[in-house]
Amino acid sequence: MITLESDQQMKELQNNESVIFLFSADWCPDCRVIEPFLPELEEKYTAWKFVYVDRDQFIHICAENDVFGIPSFLAFKDGEEVGRFVSKDRKTKEQIEEFIIKLDQ
């Protein structure tokens, strides 16, 4: 998983990739729970590029995209938002996989 480094990089990824942004933070306990199985999801769903977005570093991007809880996921394809799994609730591997599978339908 790559880590978002700039606003410009986010725009480029949104417009040129099938990308899932993971909004997270180091201090978030629910975010730590999903970390162990994220590499497995990346391997399984290779049609998607996964990008870590540090909520604290990019709080303005969170606000612009109505991401007020973490961990949360936003998916973009061809410059359009195609899915969002946004809430403050803890997410299971199964819930995240269900979200990804629906993106391809």
Residues designated as active site = 28, 31
Token pair listed for 63: 């606000």
> Residue 42's closest CA among 74, 19, 72?
19
Element (H, E) at 75: strand 72-77
